[in-house]
Structures are given as C-alpha cells and as structure tokens.
Structure 1
Amino acid sequence: MRIAVLLAALLLGCIPASARADDAASVAVAAPADLIVELVLNGVGKPDLVPLRVDGAHLWIDAAALRTAGLSLDTPGAIDVAALDGFRSRYDPLNQRLLLDAPPEFLPVQHVASRRATRTPTTADTGAMLAYEAFGYHGGRSTSASLWTEQRFFGNFGVISNQGTFRMGGMGGARYVRLDTRFRHVDEDRLVEATVGDLMTNALSWTPSVRLGGVQVARSFRARPDLITTPLPRFAGQAAVPTGVELFVDGYRQSQTQVQPGRFVLDDIPVVNGAGAVTVVTTDAVGRQVATTVPFYVAPELLKPGMTDFSAELGKLRRGYALDNFRYGRAAVSGSLRHGVSDRLTMELHGEGAARLANVGAGALWTPGHVGALRGAVAVSRRDGVIGHQITAGYSYTNRRFAIGAEHNIRSEGYADLGTFDLARWRGRGSNDRVSGSIALERVGSFGAGYVDARSRDGFRVRLASLSWSKALGPRISAFANVNYDVDRAQASGQVRLVMALGRASVHAGVSADRDRGAVMQAGFSRAIPTQGGLGFAADGAVAEDGAGYGQANVGWRGRAMNVELGASAARSAASIYAGVSGALVMLAGETFAAATVPDSFAVVDTGAANVPVRYENQLVGRTGAKGHLFIPGVAAFYAAHYSIDTLDLPVDNTAEQVERHVALRPGTGAMIHLPVRRTRSVMVLLSDANGAPLAPGGEARVANGDASPIGWGGLLVLDRVVASGVELDVVRADGGTCRARVAVPADLPSFGRIGPVACR
C-alpha cells in the first residue's frame, strides 16, 4: 500500500513540471510584469534589448521596437503580439527571450546582388609616349617604306594625341600624312566623355558613322566597369527561417549566399547572352531543399530601365582621310539617344544635318518574352527638297547550342545621310537582306549557314550563300569545311582543312576549289609567339591544279622593348620580302621605358629597391631595375587591377611598407604605383646627456612613428627597423625630464651595430 501511495505522489509531482516546459510564460509569470528581453525574430536574435510586458497570455511590446527589428507594422503604440493573426509568440523566462515568428510578408525585402563590384577612383600621372610601327616592302621593281607614329601627352587633364604616317616609295613619293589629332577627357562622376579634334560619330545599328573635325560629347559607360547596363534576370522568393541560396545558370553554379527570414530578391543574376535557365536552390536549417527553375533571355543591346546613352557631335566632315592632311568639307551635326523604357524595351532616336540635308529617325529594340529580340527603325531624310526614307527590321535568337539572325534594310531613291549626301552619283534604291544561323551538335559538330542579298544604288546585285562545318576529332585534331555559292554568277567554291595542335605549334593541311584556279592543295606549319615574349614563325604553301605554286613564310620576335617581323612570299614567278618593327617609348617620372606593344594604359611599379619581384593580377611580370622601377604595359583602363610585390626574396634588412595595391588607370594614360621597400636595420644606440654621462635606465625613447623603446643600463637603446637616413628620438628620462636626439646611421653599419654615444639635449 505504501508503495502505491509513493508512486501516485511521484506521478502527480511530474505533471506540473511537464506543463512548465510546454508553457513557460503561464507558470513563470503569474502577475503582470515589465521585463527587458532579447527579441528573437524568426530564429534570428536581434542585437538590441526590448521592453516587454507579460500579462497572463498577453505579450505587449512597443510597435516602434518591432519596426526597428525590421517588421512592417503601421499600428502605433503597444501591440499584443500574442493576438496578431499569423504570428507565433512565446516568452522564454529562463533565457529572458521573446521568441517571435512573423509571416514573410511582414519582414523586409532583402536584395541580394550576385555581383558586388565597387567603384575605384582612377589615377593618372603626367607623362608622354611615342609609339611607332615601321614597315618596309620590296617586290619586283617596287620598293616602299612607311613609318606610323603616335605622339601622346597625358595627365589628370586628359589625353592629347596625334597620329600620322610617313610614306616613301610607291606612286606618291615621300610625304607625311596626318591621320588624327585630338584631345580627350573622361568625367567619371558624370559618365561623360568629351573629344575635341578629329573624331568619328557614334552610330546606332541602323545609322552610318562618319569622320568629323569638331567636338563630341558622349556617354561613357566604360568609365564604370562595376555598372551593369543590360537588364539581367531577377528571382524573388521567401524564407521562413535563415536559408542558404545557391544559384545555377544552365547547370553551372554561379554563386552561393545566405538570406534571413522574409522575402528576398536576387538581382543582376550573372548569365550568358541569349536564352538559358536559372535554377535557384534553397536549403533550410534542417537540410530540406527546394529547387526552382526560371527561363530567361538576355539581349545585350538593351538598356536597364531609366538608363540613357547618348552622343552628340558638331564639326566639319573629314575628306580625303589618309590622303590629305587638313581637308574638311561642310559643317555637320549629329546626335543619337538610347533610353531604357523597361526590362524588355529600349527606344532609340537619331538626327543629323548639314547644309541642304536633314535626317531624323527612331528605332526600338524589344524582347517579347524568351523567344529572341526584335529591332526596327525608320529614318526620313530631306536633301535638296527630295524626301527619302530608310526602313530597318531585324530579329535574333541565341542559346547555348543554336543561334539565328535576320535583317532587312531598304533605302528609297531619295534617301541620304551624312555619309552619302554630297556624293553626286550616290542615288537610286538600295537594299540589304541577311539571314544567318548556327547549331552545335555534340556528336556531329557545329554547322553554320548564311545568305546575303545586297542591291547597291547603281543597280549592282550580289547574292551569296554559304555553309560551314567544324568538329574536334580528338584532343589535338580539328576539321573544318565550308562551301560558298554566288547565285548571280552561278559559281561555287569550297575548302576542307585539318588542323593538328602540337603544343604551341600547329600544322594544317587541306584542299580548296573554285572556278578560276581549280583544285588547290594547301599545307602549313606555325608556332605562335609566347605571351611573355620570344620567337614565333609560320610557313604556308599551296599547289594549284595547273602546277603553279604559292608560298609564304614569316618569323616574328617579341621582346620587352619591341616587336620584329620578317617575311617573304612567292606566287608563280613573282616574289616579295618585307620587314617590320614596332614598339613604344614612354616617358614617366623622369625615366624612359621601352615597350613592345602600343599601350592604351600602363603602369610603373616603384619600389625604390632593385631586383624586387612584381606581380600583376597575381602573375609574375618581372623584377624591378636598378632604379627600383618596373614598366607594365597593356593595363585595362578603369579596371581596379591588383599590383603586388613578393617579399620572400627580399634581403633580411629590407622592409616593405606596403605589399599590394588595387589601382585603376584612366584610358591612354599611365601612373606610378608606389610599393616602397626600404632598407632597415636594428641598431644599438648609447644615449648620453649634454655632459656626456650615460642616461640612467628606466626612461624611454619614442621615434617619429610612435614606437617607444626602453632605455637600459649605460644608456643603451635598441632600435628596430631604422632606415638608412637615420631617426629622430623624443626621450623621456628616468627623472621625468625630456630631451631630443638625432641618430645618424652610417651606410656601412651592419645590423645590430653600435652607435654613440649620442648626446640627448
């Protein structure tokens, strides 16, 4: 009997404990209480403590505290979260927490950008450059030579440049022909580029581009590589708890991120141009995964909604380009405007005019869903009272395996623009139709087909059809074949070619055929010049059906200072030889550097020490010279490139103050990238007072950079990382007095050498 009573008591005692575990608030807080608790919203703890009033089953909290935590609530004052529809709340007295689960629609929308590039301000130092390309030719009884040069002066103000060619031999004798002279400046804050001098008008896909001598103001999106101008896919979802999100584009993972509870939007998903599919995989805390696939189509010609691209030019038409130095025609004006209306529509406007000519037009680019891109434009002109028009329409579609494009352009007899209005014989109707397509089949290869039907204004018509095929036959061998057919002349031509890769070299052989030469057997061997410089060569030969032979060969060499090329060719009884050399000389920071390529932008890494390894974009590009400089050509403008030095090979007494930098350069300019390396030593200094007695121990000496060192017995002071020029010391003596000392370090003093006594006054 006693045992039964004890068991019953134990069971009755267990029931209240279980109830407390399930509903802590109702047991722990019997009367209304004002508390300060941690807010845990959908499993995520918030950093700020919030006031909470617990009154039985009611949990009152100020709405402002909930809005601070990220909830979208319009109700003012205190809110009973236990009574909110869709909310789940529980007070945890043991940990002093309010556990609140809110529906996703009350949580803030999170915008997760797949690309988080940041803008880096550009830099440019003042300097000059002389680029050159010399070429000589001799064949039969003809000998000629030419020298192309560009003179460039640059700095923070912009770039002033002049290009021209000096020719000798041939029909024109010896003369210099000026090509282009201009000043160019880019305003990175406004994304505007201004050009004064010789220029080309910026054209739309349905307008021509002409050369002017004048002024141009245009949008420059390239000044902001971090700016995405094309509408990219977006994906929206929601999460009830902290969730991992993985992004796959056409089966390849592009990014992985973590989102908090609530709605989220993946912006600017990085994709390829054309059609594809984005798959978003969400994984919650317990490992449950949900995959959602969304198709997309990206047309790179579209602009994001609200973005505007423009170009405006005013000047005189250039005439006799590459023939005359300063021949300009009539005054002209031209302007183009593109504006992103929506993710699927971009509108275009264009206008141009001159004396006796006016031309205006409008166009649009539209992507109707995932089926490709449509574009169209209409332009109307008036020349000498005659009105004409031009109509352009096109369609394109691209995916990973298939692409097709078509375009139709027709011009009426009276249509004119800046490229044709002052040509007396440039009249008559004209049209141009083009259709092309390609498809990649994994086992068969890649096929391409095209058809062009062009009618010029003088009535001449050309209709050409082509078909091509290519396939990799193995890891080193590939095959290529194509057939062309001239519809109007009823002539066909074709070729078949095999190419075998042999490391840096390759060999090829094939056969071609046409009506004029018959069958021609071809073979060749080539080796490309290594990227870091060196020797390359190529040789090709062919034998026609009638036994005639053709051949050519060339040898090229690229060094750090220049490029050199030699070549020869022979056809039947004629032979010719040629030679060329090219490069550039750059003047920057009082030093001249030679480069093999003509750089748009370039950098000079300055370490102040010789033989320091330098890396550009994590690739070793060389070692600094005797003056501590290394010239790096071919730097991409506006891109924040990574420059660094390798400190592992530095002597033990050398210290790098900075080992890496990210620097963006302006186009056509150069800059010094300072990564200073200084020779430092640890030295022992004996400090004495003005009377020559050693300073008492217990004081300290502080150098200019703030480092302090204690003074030991006999006034001994040990200094680390002392530069060759010496150091200034601010000394606090053991008795509290102060004095200053100047320590000069001899150039031949070894590390941990002794200096002194040095008077501290």
Structure 2
Amino acid sequence: MRPLKHARRAVLAIALACAIAPPALALPGDETLLLDICINNRCIGIAPVIARGDDVLVDLAALQAAALDTEGVVPEQLGERQFVSLRQLNHGSTFKIDRTLLRLDLKLRADRLPRQRVAMTTRAQSEAGLAAWSAFVNYGASVQDNGDGTLFLDGAFGRGYGALRSTGQWDSEFGWRRGLTRFEYDQPDAVRRWTVGDQYATPRDPLGGGRLLGGVGVERAFDTDPYLVTFPRPYFSGVLESPGTVEVYANGALIGRRDLAAGPFTLEQLGIQPGRNDVRVIVRDPFGNRSELATQSYYGGSARLLTRGLDEYAVRIGAPRTGSGLGGEYNGEVAYQAWYRRGLSDWLTLGGRVEGDDRVRNAGLDAAISTPVGEFAFALAGSDAELLGNGRAVNGQAHAAYYTLAMRTWSLGLGTRRADADYRNLSDPAALLLGPLRVEDYASFAFTPDTAWSLQFNTGRQQREGEPSLRSWSATGSLRMGGRTQMMLSAQRLDSDLFRDTSVQLSLNIAFDRDNVNIGLRQHDDGTTKRQGYGFDASRSRPADTGFGYTVNAQRDENLDSAFAMLEYQATHARFAATASDHDGDTSGSLFMSGALVGIGGRMFATPPVESGFALVRVPGLANVPILRENQVVGRTDARGDLLVRDLLPYYANRV
C-alpha cells in the first residue's frame, strides 16, 4: 500500500501544479513534465521541467527560489515561462530524471550550492512580551549629623516603548529643584529614539559644543538593538565540500563556532577587537579531521568608523536651559543642533554637523579613515558669531586630527586640535567656567606584551582662552603577581607658567572574592615643598541580593590625617548606609536610605533602587517558586505567586 500512497500523492501534486501554473509551450520533440526538484538529495518542490534529448530545462523561478546562482545564464522563453538549461547552468554537475518517483535529481558541485551567510556574533533577539503599564520612583534620602538633609527622586511612567521621566531634588539649602523632565519613545525596528522635553545636545565630532535644551529631538539609538555591530568587521568566504564545523580564532582565542552544510559560505561579523588581529579559520569534517582554510591578518576599525551602509544622526531644537540639570530657567532663545554620519565603506565614514542659537552659527565636517597602517580622523569647522556687549560679528575656524594604531602588544595614539580666537560653538558649562579650549595636543603609547605586566606613557598640552599653556606627562607601569595581587607605579607632572606639580605613587592591590585591599605610598612636589604620604583602603562589595558591604580608608600626608568609613546593607525592600569621616580632627557622619517603589501588574513593590530594566514574573496561586535569571536563582514568588525581577538589560534577550 505504501507505493500506491506515494503515487496518489504525486498525482495530486501534478494536478495541483497543472491547475495553478500556465502551460509551457515546448518545442517539437520536447517532453514537458511536472517533477519534484531535488538538489543534492534535498527536494525543494514541484516545478515544470522540459526533457530535450540529453538536456533538461528547469523553470527559472524554481531555481531562483532555491537560491541557485543563475547569473550569466541566458534563459529560454517557452510560453509564459522562462527555462534554464542545466548544461548551461553548471558544467560538470550531473542530473537525472527518475520517472518512477517523478523527480529530477540534480547533483551540484559544492561551489555552486546556495551561499550560506552566517553571523558569528550571537543575535538572540528579545521577545516582545506584554506591553503592560508600569511606573517606578527611585528615592535617595540622606541626613547629616548637623541636621541637614537631601532627598533625590527619579521616576518614570509608561507602557511599551514610551515613558515619561523626571528627576528632582530637595535639600536644606536650596529647597526643591526640578531636574530633567522628558517623554521618550523608542522605535527599536528603526533603531530610533524621540525625546520631548529636557535633553542634552551633544556633538559627535570634537569641534562642536553642547547645551541643555528643552525641546524636541530625534536620534539614532543603537542601544535599542544591542546586538547590532556598528563598526566594520572583516568577513571570510569559502567553500565546504562536505558538511562540517567551522571555527574562527583571533589571536589564538576561539571567537566563534558554527555548523555549516556543504557549499559556499560567508562568515560575517567576526567578533574581533579594534586593532591588529591574526585570524585563522579551521574546519572539522564529520569524521573528526581538521584542516585550516585560511590564515589572514585584519586591522579592525574603532567606534569612530561605521560599517558600510550604516548611518547615525541626531536632531535637536529647543530653548536653552540654565543650570546644570537641577533648577534653572529657559531663556527666550532658540538653539539647535543636527549632525549626520554614514559609513560609505568599511574604511571610510563621513559626517557633517550644524548648530547654533540667536548669536552663534557653526558648521563642520568630519571623516574617519581606516588604513593598513592605522586609523585617521579629521574634523573641520567654521563659525559666525555676534560678540556679547558690542554685537560685533566675528568669523572663526577650527580643525582637529587624530591617529591611532593598535597592534597585539602595543598601541599608539596622536591627536591635535586648534581653534582661533574668534571660533565659537554652543558653549557647555565647562567652557563658560574655564574658558573655551584653543589648543590641545596629546600622544600616548601603551605596551602590553602579556597579561603579567604593562607600560603606558602619555604627554600633552592644553591652552584655554586667556590662560597660559598647560603641559603634562605621565608614565604608569603595572605588574601582576599571581592571580590576586597587582603592583602599580605611576608618575605625573603638570607644568605651566604659573606652577609646577610632580607626583609619584606606588600601590599594591590584593583582590579576594568580594574583598579588596590597597596599600599606597606617594610623594608630591609643587615646586616649593615636598610632601610624603601613605594610605590604606579596604572594601567589600555589596552583594547582588541581600547582605553587607563596607569601605574603610585611612590616609596620612605629612601632618595631615584623614579617614573615611562606610557600612551599607542591602535588604529585600531597600538599601541602607552609614558613613563617618574625619579630616584632621573635623569629624562628620551621615545616614542614607535608598530604594524604589515599582508599580506593575496592578501591584506595588518596594525594592532597592531600579538601575535598569525590570519585569514581573507571575505564577498565579503558587508561592515560594524559585525564579531563575541566566540559570541563577534571583528570588522566590510571594504568597500571590509574584516576583519582581530587577537588573534586566533593556532590549537584550534576558533569560528568566
């Protein structure tokens, strides 16, 4: 009965195909068939086939649906369909019509099979889940021994990808001050975020300025797709004659393993670090044999570069707000900033920026270029501004250039930036307080031959408007002694027309599972006096669930003594801490309490502060059920069968 059943299925398939497919008009002597197309023993479906002597013509649409390469083959039009000769398609492969099973068996060479594209980075996307209404308020309260107190609040209310957020602070000196208030809406599919309210305008190039604005903004938000690779990474293409396992090694370390079928393949998004990398591709066949496909050297780009075809942008417009994010007012001006960058290739990224307000207009261009001898970055900008007081218009220019070269055991970085006296941009608070930066040069060199020791050297020069040039250099060496002990020696010198400052420090750090001990010796010379000092620091990290942590610090500099101690405890519903300090006989103390109130699923939960994402796990009617996150128990359900899980990473595939 089994052959009859197969025959009936074949007849039904032929009847169905005849009913839905227009007829193919064959030439005299041709035989038109409807056969099951099987490529290397993998059947892809039924399609029209024409037997012409010792050749076979197959429907072009069926071959393209099977991802076979038909480029360079001239199809033959028969009726309303196009057919491809198998002899033209792939010389050297074999084909055979099985009239008993009504199938066409096509045996292709491995290099003519459909190409497999495999991303070596893990891209487990998070599930959408339920878009429930939720809200939280983080609070932090402190009281000093003199009676002064502080209360800080950070709250949000939203659903799905939208949330209204605000911060605020009350203290004994200034009273209540509002922080940042904004509505944010994420579009993960478009990797985009909209913001209405308080937001910081920050440039992507080094010549732009920044302001706190109250307005509207939209930006590329790469954090909504945490598995997106934004900077260029190399790829490798090859052919497997038989199924096997491909392994990729970078600098001797395994970075990925994938099982592949026979045929062409492309390994994309190789997880290598920026800088020089020696990459090896190894294949293991089903019999355990190991062979090396390739060994190549790549220079991986840094975050300055965007992968080809990827862009990033930000557009913001609004009223500038005074203050540093607490209190302040909106002035009557309008400020804006917009910038755009795009990866034109894996070695070239270009960008542009405009920004301004009622008195300043600024525009600039930037570029990042990757070469076999390192990575270069350039920026140019010009400004048109009206000076305060006299209203005189001035034009200014600025430029910057950077170079980085990262090898396996050493790296080099160089940079320079210049801005003339009339150059202006959207000024941030630091520029208003310290003066705009006019000159900056730096050079850095790091040498890390292995994990046991390393050396780093830095030198630089800075000059702000109206200030003398400040020169600096530093050297740092570290030596790891065993698995828990590290010694570090550092020296630094600051030099200008006004002062000279030199410091040297030697420290020994011993790390245990949760405890850390540090002993340090130091000498400081300001050009007139020399001071020696030493210090001791011990700490225990706070556990992730419940438990104690502490910090103890004691320092002595010549005749000046200081000490600090903190004891903290994280409970199920809040976090508590007590501090005490002494500075040359002047003692003080304080008490802290922090936590969060979270509303979700029709309930309110009291927890330690919410610092990232959270979710409600509900097992109705089942109490004391252990809940695991990443195979680690994070708690048990309460009497109602609920547990609030904190510290989830937004947009990651958190396993709960």
- TM-score class normalised by the smaller sequence: 0.7 to 0.9
- Of 115, 120, 127, 2:134 maps to 127
| 1:163 has 2:167 as partner | yes
418, 433, 443: which one aligns with 2:441: 433
Structure 2 letter corresponding to 1:182: R
Work out whether residues 128 and 152 of structure 1, in 8 Å CA contact, stay in contact via their aligned partners in 2.
Answer: yes
* 1:154 is aligned to 2:166: no
Q: Can you give the 5+ residue segments of structure 2 that lack an aligned partner in the other structure?
A: 1-29, 387-392
Q: What residue identity is the alignment partner of 2:554?
A: G
Distance 1:95 1:524, change over 3 A: farther
Paired residue for 2:533, among 520, 525, 530?
A: 520
Residue correspondence of structure 1 range 399-548 to structure 2 within 5 A = 399-419=407-427, 430-442=438-450, 445-488=453-496, 489-515=499-525, 518-546=531-559, 548=560
Instruction: Show CA shifts across 1:314-352 (max 9, x none).
Output: 111111335644343522111111112111111111101
- Report if the CA contact (8 A) 2:170-2:176 is conserved: yes
Secondary structure of the structure 2 residue equivalent to 1:341: strand
Equivalent position SS for 2:362: strand
Alignment partners' CA distance in 1, 2:131 and 2:147: 43
Q: 2:647 aligns to what?
A: 634
Aligned residue runs from structure 1 range 280-429, under 5 A: 280-283=281-284, 287=289, 289-296=291-298, 297-321=300-324, 324-328=327-331, 330-369=333-372, 371-384=373-386, 385-419=393-427
Deviations 1:227-283 (A, max 9, x none): 332222111123444454222222222333344444322122222233212211234
Please say if residues 282 and 290 of structure 2, whose CA atoms lie closer than 8 Å, have aligned partners that are also in contact: no
CA distance in 2 between counterparts of 1:354 and 1:80 reads 67
Is the 2:452–2:481 Cα contact (8 Å) retained in structure 1? no
Aligned partner letter, 2:439: S
Q: Which moved more, 1:181-190 or 1:239-248?
A: 239-248
Letter in 1 for 2:138: A
- Offset, 1:388: 0.3
Whether the aligned pair in 2 keeps the contact of 1:37 and 1:52 (CA below 8 Å) is no
Aligned counterpart, 1:571: 583
Pick closer, same or farther for the CA change 1:403–1:288 going to 2, 3 Å: closer
Q: Give the partner amino acid of 1:612.
A: V
Amino acid aligned to 1:190 = A
Shift of 1:354: 1.4
Contact in 1 for aligned 2:554/2:564 (Cα 8 Å): yes
CA distance in 1, matches of 2:257, 2:244: 11
The corresponding residue for 2:198 is 198
Structure 1 counterpart of 2:189, one-letter code = D
Distance 1:306 1:254 in 2: 25
Q: Within 1, Cα distance between the matches of 2:100 and 2:476?
A: 73
SS of 1:441's equivalent in the other structure is coil
Matched, 1:110 2:116: yes
Deviation at 1:411, TM superposition (A): 0.9
Report the TM-score when normalising by structure 1: 0.72
Q: C-alpha deviations, 1:19-56, integer Å up to 9, x for none?
A: xxxxxxxxxxxxx9999998775x5544558868596x
- Counterpart of 2:183 in structure 1 is 183
CA distance in 1, matches of 2:581, 2:297: 53
Q: Output the CA distance in 2 between the equivalents of 1:427 and 1:592.
A: 49
Match of 1:560 in 2: 572
SS in 2 for 1:108: coil
Larger-gyration structure (1/2): 1
CA positional deviation for 1:188: 2.9
Q: What's the secondary structure of 1:112's corresponding residue?
A: strand
Structure 1 residues 214 and 511: alpha-carbon distance in aligned structure 2, compared to 1, 3 A threshold:
same
Which has the larger displacement, 248-257 or 534-543?
Answer: 248-257
2:92 aligned to 87, 90, 94, which one?
A: 87
Gap runs ≥5 in structure 1: 1-31, 644-761
1:686-719 CA-partner distances (Å, limit 9, x unpaired): xxxxxxxxxxxxxxxxxxxxxxxxxxxxxxxxxx
Q: Equivalent pairs: percent with the same residue? A: 24
Which segment is superposed worse, 114-123 or 510-519? 114-123
For residues 90 and 221 of structure 1, do their structure 2 counterparts lie closer, same or farther at Cα, with a shift above 3 Å needed?
Answer: closer
Aligned residue type for 1:230: F
Instruction: Give the partner amino acid of 2:329.
Output: F
C-alpha contact (below 8 Å) 1:146/1:167 kept by paired residues = yes
Are 2:58 and 2:86, in contact at CA under 8 Å, matched by a contact in 1? no
Aligned position for 2:233: 232
1:411–1:426 distance in 2 versus 1, CA, 3 Å: farther
Q: 3-state DSSP class of the match of 1:189?
A: helix
SS at match of 2:223: helix
Q: Which amino acid aligns with 2:466?
A: D
Q: Structure 1 residues 258 and 641 mapped into 2: Cα distance closer, same or farther (>3 Å)?
A: closer
Cα-to-partner distance string for 1:638-684 (whole Å, 9 max, x where unaligned)? 223222xxxxxxxxxxxxxxxxxxxxxxxxxxxxxxxxxxxxxxxxx
Preserved CA contact (<8 Å) 1:213 1:328: no
Could you tell me whether the CA contact under 8 Å between 2:339 and 2:352 is conserved in 1?
A: yes
Any idea what SS the aligned residue of 1:367 has? strand
Aligned to 2:8: none
Aligned mates of 2:338, 2:329 — CA distance in 1:
24
RMSD: 3.3
- Following superposition, the deviation at residue 377 of structure 1 comes to 0.6
TM-score, structure 2 normalization: 0.83
Distance in 2 between residues matched to 1:95 and 1:346, nearest whole Å: 59
For 1:629 and 1:112, locate their aligned partners in 2 and report how far apart those are by CA, in whole Å: 40
Equivalenced residue count is: 600
Residue 423 of structure 1, CA deviation:
8.9
Give the Cα–Cα distance (whole angstroms) in 2 for the partners of residues 624 and 428 of structure 1: 56
Report whether the alignment pairs 1:270 with 2:271: yes
